[in-house]
Amino acid sequence: MLTPTVVTHDDIDTQLVECLPERETLFLDITIAPVIGVNLAVAVNAATINGTATAFATQQLTSFIH
């Protein structure tokens, strides 16, 4: 089991703080990613009396981000 670390005010006072520069490049940073989803399922119930057909579908999602 891990023991918690005690942080004192002196430890915090020794830390350096630096302001980050403004990032104009992030202003209205919009990412548009086309997402393609495909579901495929096939079930056949032919020439049976009181028969049932069950189909299980899997989904594949693809996204392109560059």
Residues 12-35 have pLDDT tens digits of 888 888 887 776 655 666 667 777
- For residue 56, what pLDDT band results from cuts at 50, 70 and 90? confident
Q: What is the structure's pLDDT at 60?
A: 76
Q: Which of 65, 42, 66 is nearest to 53 (CA)?
A: 42
Residue 30 lies in a domain: yes
How crowded is the C-beta side of 41, counted as CA atoms within 13 Å?
A: 9
Q: What percent of the chain has pLDDT over 70?
A: 79
For the chain, percent of residues with pLDDT exceeding 90: 0
- The pTM of the full predicted model, rounded to 2 decimals, is 0.28
Residue-range definition of the domain harbouring residue 37: 21-63
Nearest to 38 by CA among 60, 15, 57, 13: 60
> How many domains does the chain divide into?
1
